[in-house]
Amino acid sequence: MKETNASLAALVVTPAIPAMAFALTSPGLGGGADASMRILVGLSLVFYPYALAAAVILGFPMFLLLRSRGRVGPLWSTAAGALIGSLVSLILSLPVSAPIAGWLHGVAGVLPFMCSTGALTGLFFWVVRRTLSGPSSQEARDEA
């Protein structure tokens, strides 16, 4: 029960990372490094539901898959987050009517940011979950 609550808490908390990252990198919406704290918090709140949706639709099933294989750790969580960030960048950049070459060029511009944001989010998920639940029995055996 403790691990379940920790996992759900981490699921709710970690989407704040990409939400804040998008607020800090959205000068066209009033955000960016020069924006006031009020604007950054407001933009983060606007982006949070989308980040939470990505976490629920893509992140939590990935966590369940990793957990079923006994691969919940900082390295695997970071790698899974990077993969999910990459998938999100591909999904958000899907062409409406543009040719594939233009779509790939657009993806190449956002892929490093989305991949690194996803990796940081995956690592943060593991840290929050581990902090709240303590080491699992498998992790305790690995550390001994």
| Res 8: pLDDT | 92
d(CA 100, CA 65): 31
Task: State residue 78's pLDDT score.
Answer: 95
The tens digit of pLDDT for each residue in 9-48 reads 999 999 999 999 988 888 777 877 788 888 889 999 999 9
85: nearest Cα among 53, 62, 119: 119
**Residue from 76, 111, 77 nearest 91 by CA:** 111
pLDDT of res. 144: 47
77 vs 83: CA distance, rounded Å: 10
One-letter amino acid of 17? I
Higher pLDDT, 46 or 98: 46
Is the distance from CB of 67 to CB of 115 less than 8 angstroms?
no
Helices (H), the chain: 2-13, 16-24, 37-54, 60-68, 74-92, 100-133, 137-143
- DSSP string over 15-35: THHHHHHHHHT-GGGT-STTS
The verdict on pTM exceeding 0.85 is no
List the Cα angle 114/116/117 in 5-degree steps: 60
The mean pLDDT value for 137-143 works out to: 53
